[in-house]
A and B are shown apart, each in its own frame.
Chain A
């Protein structure tokens, strides 16, 4: 067992873990943050995407122990509260554009979408498509996901401008 201390969604978490534990298992099994889903065992699908120090990473491709001292943000940590108007703009955009069907890939798509939005200038649809190369959706055909990320990026930019 190894001691791990990190910030998850703004809360400090300390835990004794097995050194071989993956970050996704730490989040899902130890912290019961089941928003990050496991859609494959080979780091292809991106359903488990979270942010580590504001960078989108696949939490199945990282050991929990590598996260000592870092800030992890998961899908559960981006809304400011339970009301609809407290959703993160990227979450709201996924809903408004019907960017999800079964919902299994959605957490990863939103977290990746957020990373795309933060890359700087407003992303074009084709940039969004190529940046989604690490995330698989089997339901939507991606069309509405691209629209959601496009819209979410705009809303996020407006929000940053107004600050």
Chain B
């Protein structure tokens, strides 16, 4: 990339290309597709118990129900493979894959048992309710700590316990650090189980053509290519006949990284019935049957010196992955949490065991930040606890522990690395948004009238941009680390970008067009971005881990550069100069000043070659070639003229094939370190326990910014989800493992009045590992907000004697903590 000043699109807050349709209601979510009108409808019968033996599955009444075409049970699909787990450590002793339909036993409330296919949605739903399931209950495991007890029932046959994997990360002299510590701070921290709940639920429209053997499969997915392969694997279906399309996707946040039984069942039904089959998740199924996020218990000890420097970190991370190892579920705990246990801090002596355990709950999977929020929450809560224990300023404690810019790139003790960053400068910029002294004065005054104000900080770093392929292989991740981009320049000089990334609202049709537009010298409206269709984009890795700009964006940039080089060769031929004597400026190749002598020499040579070519052509064909216009004193040729020439092929360099069409796979060597500082200000009502978020400040560093409007939008959305987790969101199971939070009435989704306006800013540290200098931005809001808010709440209530608060800060929980502290103080 040239100097930033040369950019006309990159770095500009351009409005989105995709909005034109969406603000008019002209969306193409799977449920909007006209083809659904011709489809049969699928409904899933689900387990009403969390753990039980299936005694009998009675389909008699359901089969007789009007409109029912077919019912699939486990017995009908023995030829199909269970759902993949494509990320778990290689040494995981027991990886239990999720069956498409439960056979002998159900392991969680809501587990699919049968699929009903009927002429209408109402008929399918009714018949699913008519399926009777005789079950023999088995005792349940609904707590990760109890799952590890020696007398716990073992969920999976053939396993010796309920542990999916147990992985130790150890570095340095941990025992020595704890022996020499001035103080040891020990805490138990929990990370609540939540649901991503994108507003568009999952949806599938699968259409098998028995004549051609083609399967056209629409699915609301973040990873159309990965899911196409998963579908082919489950069905044992030839990949060249599978056309997988993800049209508009109404949010994902990790939930649509999972690959689910409904995709396979709808496809299998269509293949058997020779009719299209449609299924759309109802909101209850979001909670019952789409992966949940988080759900960790961390027991942590930090050895510190008198200045709050962390000398050693030890303890145990215990994650509940639910009933089965599904999708990326185990891997995110193993690598994302495991690799970021020290975050932006220089902690060299580490001994942490990370354990993933099975339970009778819905499997967990990646949720915005995927493993990073859990580690960051632990670290940021501990930083505040260290400050409290030593009576130090939490800001100072963080600064005492940051890895400095001079130490970059920095290899962290837990095995990953930080590529660049200045965490203290970022923290300072965030602090510039708030007058801390003034806040402390306000806080003291407010406390006198029993208004509790608190301010909290959350700093994090995230390894964004999942890559490289070789590294993913090394950590048991059965996916590639590259991203593909194919760029085509049409004969009129306009371009289409085919990207293997996939937008679920991030605005890739705009941001990727900004990259391509600047690189090719085109206006935004002259670039079209295409995603989510395996027939036109054969390869893709998809969108997760804030990787699209860093990996997918760079692939687009490189494909455009490659096209531009081909066009330079054509321009050189047309203008009769060496390619390096041309510069690309304002949409045209121009002869650099000072190249005129070479130009004259070049033209002489060209005329001589033209003469030979013309004579040979005349001898063979009897026709004369048109005059190539070499004598016209051309000094420049436009992008569009070259594009036209490339397709006509009349006068391209010898050996060059026609057309402008380049595919590039970018597989970066390392992952860029994105980071941010969050500052929260809360007010707590001592009488009710109600926590109000008064201010939330984020200064992020995502490297160079392609579109600040979109980048800030990502931060806003992330804050809302992080604040939702901290304040109100929680998956609640009863003692029998039945899910209580199963729709928007019983699962608290944050609303507009729950939040203040957000205050945002950026620092910019270019990523060294990609030519655009970009880092991830999508997930950070959800990583930094939870600890900032909990730290703020504790800051408010510490003078009242409250020492501990866990997420979510429901008024009841906060009120109880205040009451317990009162009792303690009065004792």
Binding site for B on A (CB under 8 A): 28-29, 32-42, 44-45, 47, 74-76, 79, 84, 87, 91-92, 94-96, 98, 100-107, 110, 125-126, 128-130, 132-133, 135-146
Contacts and interface: CB of A to CB of B under 8 A. Distances in A.
Given A35-B25, A101-B505, A141-B755, A42 B15 contact: no
B4 interface: no
B721 A41 contact: no
B32 A47 contact: no
B284 interface: yes
Contact of B720 (A42, A125, A132, A142): A142
Contact of B749 (A136, A140, A143): A136
B198 A35 contact: no
A44 B284 CA distance: 13
Nearest to A106: B22
A91 B743 CA distance: 29
Interface stretch (B56-64, B305-313, B710-718, B764-772): B710-718
7 contacts: A34-B25, A37-B250, A95-B23, A101-B713, A132-B753, A133-B752, A142-B752
A143 to B, nearest CB: 5
Contacts of A130: 752-753
A138 B752 contact: no
Interface residues of B, number: 55
Nearest to B747: A44
A138 B18 contact: no
Interface in B493-522: 504-507
Contacts of A29: 37
A67 B504 CA distance: 34
Contacts of A39: 199-201, 283
Contacts of A47: 199
B94 interface: no
Interface centre among A41, A42, A138 (most CB of B within 10 A): A138
B752 A129 contact: yes
A76 B16 CA distance: 19
Contacts of A133: 751-753
Contacts of B26: 35, 76
Contacts of B250: 37, 102-104
B752 A102 contact: no
Interface string B181-202: 0000000000000001111110
A98 B707 CA distance: 11
A104 B19 contact: no
B31 interface: yes
A139 B744 contact: no
B765 to A, nearest CB: 24
A128 B752 contact: yes
B178 to A, nearest CB: 41
A95 B16 contact: yes
B823 to A, nearest CB: 36
- B34, B198, B753, B781, most chain A CB atoms within 10 A: B753
Contact of B752 (A41, A44, A106, A132): A132
Contact of A142 (B22, B29, B710, B755): B755
Given A129-B752, A133-B751, 4 more contacts: A102-B248, A102-B249, A104-B27, A104-B198
Contact of B23 (A110, A125, A144): A110
A35 B27 CA distance: 7
Interface in B735-787: 743-745, 749, 751-753, 755, 757-758, 781
A56 to B, nearest CB: 15
Contacts of B720: 138, 140-142
Interface string B1-36: 000000000000001101110111111010110100
A33 B758 contact: no
B282 interface: yes
A145 B744 contact: no
B709 interface: yes
Contact of A76 (B24, B31, B283, B755): B24
B253 interface: yes
Contacts of A129: 752-753, 755
Contacts of A92: 23
Interface string B245-270: 00011110100000000000000000
A42 B745 contact: yes
Nearest to B713: A98
Q: Which of B25, B253, B709, B716 has the most CB of A within 10 A?
A: B25
Contact of A84 (B20, B32, B201, B713): B20
Contact of A100 (B19, B201, B721, B781): B19
A96 B743 contact: no
Contacts of A91: 23-24
Contact of A40 (B249, B283, B712, B721): B283
Please give me the 6 A-B residue pairs with the lowest Cβ-Cβ distance, nearest first.
A35-B25, A102-B505, A104-B250, A103-B22, A141-B720, A75-B25
A132 B751 contact: yes
A103 B743 contact: no
B100 interface: no
B743 A34 contact: no
Contacts, number: 175
Contacts of B282: 41
B719 interface: yes
A79 B251 contact: no
A107 B721 CA distance: 21
Contact of B25 (A40, A74, A96, A137): A74
Contacts of A104: 27, 29, 198-200, 250-251
Given A40-B743, A133-B753, A146-B752, A103 B24 contact: no
Residue of B19, B253, B749, B755 with most partner-chain A CB within 10 A? B19
Contact of A41 (B20, B24, B283, B709): B283
A44 B745 contact: yes
Nearest to B715: A141
Nearest to B718: A141
Contacts of A136: 199, 744, 749, 751
Given A101-B251, A101-B505, A145-B752, A140 B713 contact: yes
A107 B749 CA distance: 19
Contacts of A128: 752
Contacts of A95: 15-16, 19-20, 23
Interface string B652-667: 0000000000000000
B710 A98 contact: yes
Nearest to B18: A103
A125 B758 CA distance: 13
A25 to B, nearest CB: 9
B23 A41 contact: no
A44 to B, nearest CB: 4
Given A42-B744, A102-B504, A133-B752, A138 B23 contact: no
Contacts of B743: 40-42, 44
Nearest to A36: B25
Contacts of B505: 100-103, 139
A87 to B, nearest CB: 7
Contact of A143 (B34, B201, B249, B755): B755
Nearest to B696: A141
Contacts of B710: 98
Contact of A98 (B16, B196, B199, B504): B16
B744 A40 contact: yes
A34 B27 contact: yes
A24 to B, nearest CB: 11
Contacts of B248: 102-103
Contacts of A139: 199, 251, 505, 713, 717
B451 to A, nearest CB: 19
Contacts of A94: 19, 23
A107 B25 CA distance: 6
Contacts of B717: 101, 138-141
Nearest to A95: B19
Contacts of A141: 716-720, 755, 758, 781
A19 B692 CA distance: 45
Given A139-B251, A143-B716, A144-B713, A102 B198 contact: yes
